[in-house]
Amino acid sequence: MGKHIHHRHRPWYKEPLYIVSIFAFLFALLSMFFPVLSPMVTSIVFYVEMIWWAILIGLIIGGFIGYFVPEEYISKHLGYGRRVVPYAVVLGFLMSACSHGILAIAIALFRRGASTAAVIAFLLASPWANLPMTIILFAFFGLNALFIIFGSLLIAVVTGFIFQLLEKKKMVDIGNVVKVKKTFSVRKDIKKRLKRYRFKPTDVTNTLHASWDLAKAVLWWVIIGIFLASFIGSYIPQDIMQTYFGPTLIGLLGTLLLATVIEVCSEGSSPLAFELYRQTGAFGNSFVFLNAGVATQREQQYGCF
């Protein structure tokens, strides 16, 4: 039932996760000799204790999806039709890569026949509504995370339908859409796979390998985000945060500017958004930071299509 996984091996010193982890370890050692760093270390520990379980659950879920969900299911429903946008949003929810990883997946889908509207909806839904990020956001914001998740889904759906309208008016290129066999049924395929499925120990190891590959892709962004959030919380006075990033028009514009210039993956942005919320109480600003940050990063890379 699961797919065969080809693992990409490269020297450990070229893995961002190992590099960032070594830096974090050295920083912790330095804090023992330089007391000025202690508040930041305390803040880092606070964040780790808050979200370690969410990250672990998210990685396990992501590994399961990465190993057991066939790519054919994704390609089937992203071409023509009224259901394209809802399907793209749902698939974005099922994806488990970071914003940069989702961009690569979206490019592959576009080249294989997904429409422009489907790709846009997929991109907008995936960063804050995918399963691993959903769990992480709940760890940070509690039930308020529902507003972020459903708000992101709503933005994705509306934007996707707007792009479908633009496609019909030939104002944007529909993409490389190809006809897919109508006889293919995801439901029937799942039933066939379940009938043929026999548990193998390699299913567990391959799922864990998929989780580890996902961890290497996203964890270093989480660490960077925690470091930046801890720096803000430890060394930037709260009155400055309230003035420039508080629940005012100036604060909203300042947050939008900050989201535009900071190049951090979605997983790394979540600790920053929570620190912004913790310091200012401006939940709306945190929502803008999360969505605008990823959107502007992708605009900078959209030429890849």
- Look at residue 248 in the predicted model and tell me its pLDDT: 82
Helix axes of 116-129 and 84-94: crossing angle, nearest 10 degrees = 30
Confidence of residue 30 (pLDDT cuts 50, 70, 90): very high
Q: 302 pLDDT exceeds 50?
A: no
Kindly state the average pLDDT of the residues 101-109.
58
Kindly state the average pLDDT of the residues 3-24.
76
Most confident of 111-115, 214-218, 249-253: 249-253
Distance CA 270, CA 289 (A): 9
- Look at residue 301 in the predicted model and tell me its pLDDT: 44
Kindly state the average pLDDT of the residues 49-59.
77
- Candidates 259, 258, 251; CA nearest to 298 is 259
Higher pLDDT, 205 or 82: 205
Q: 71 pLDDT exceeds 70?
A: no
Distance CA 213, CA 216 (A): 5
Higher pLDDT, 37 or 277: 37
pLDDT in tens, 240-258: 877 778 888 888 888 877 7
- Look at residue 23 in the predicted model and tell me its pLDDT: 92
Token code pair at residue 22: 């070594």
- Look at residue 89 in the predicted model and tell me its pLDDT: 81
Mean pLDDT over all residues of the chain?
Answer: 75
The CA radius of gyration of the chain, in Å to the nearest whole number, is 21
- Candidates 132, 110, 111; CA nearest to 123 is 110
pLDDT in tens, 162-176: 888 887 787 766 555
Percent of residues, the chain, with pLDDT higher than 90:
4
Q: 141 pLDDT exceeds 70?
A: yes
Distance CA 215, CA 56 (A): 9
pTM for the whole thing?
0.62
